Amino acid sequence: MTKYTAGLGMLFLLGAMLITTSDVILRKMDGAGIYGTIDLIQLMILSAAYLSIPQTFMSGSHVAVSIITDRLPLRPAALFQLIGALLSCCFMFAIMVFSFTQAQMQNEYGDISMTLGLPMIYYWIPLVIGSALSVLVALHLCIASFYTLVTQRDVLSLHKP
């Protein structure tokens, strides 16, 4: 599931790149770019970022300082992984709750974007979905880390070859 959302995020990023490039070329050719470029780019970049976070957690490709933890025995490494996953879960849960609340409020007020008049709920949907999926992935990592901590079976590849 996370690979599909990350793939969708890459498509949004590609779309943002194409719109930006087209806008620059059109501005150079005739002085007029694409109407509403900023609204579209903001929507696409936000979507790309939040839909990619769950895969980043799942694949362990997020930014991490692991100089010390890579040298630890399996159980202490699993403990640090568990603590990190718990903190990630709490943080993404807070983002999810805040985003959902804001999305509801802006949807009720009928807020729209400045140029194109896109409903602001379009901006919140990928954020809520991405953060909710990130919470699930972080919970999965918590369970896997706890399992490694208890059984000493390295299911998370905490010790790189």
The domain spans of the chain are 2-151
| Structural contact between residues 141 and 149, judged by C-beta atoms closer than 8 angstroms | no
Residue 27 has pLDDT above 80, yes or no: yes
Q: How confident is the model at residue 30 (pLDDT cuts 50, 70, 90)?
A: confident
Give the pLDDT score at 155.
79
Taking residue 115's Cβ as centre, other Cβ atoms within 10 Å add up to: 12
The pTM score is 0.86
**Residue 150 gets which letter from DSSP?**
H
* Long-range CB contact pairs, 62-69, < 8 A, 24+: 69/158
- pLDDT at residue 134, as a whole number: 96
Over residues 119-139, the pLDDT tens digits come to: 999 999 999 999 999 999 999
- pLDDT tens digit sequence for 61-113: 777 667 777 788 888 888 988 999 999 999 999 999 999 999 999 999 999 99
- Neighbouring-strand partners of residue 112: 119
Residue 81: name the closest of 23, 24, 35, 143 by CA. 143
Closest CA to 122 of 140, 135, 105, 103: 103
Residue 47 CA to residue 123 CA, distance in Å, equals: 8
Of the candidates 92, 77, 153, which has an alpha carbon nearest to the alpha carbon of residue 127? 92
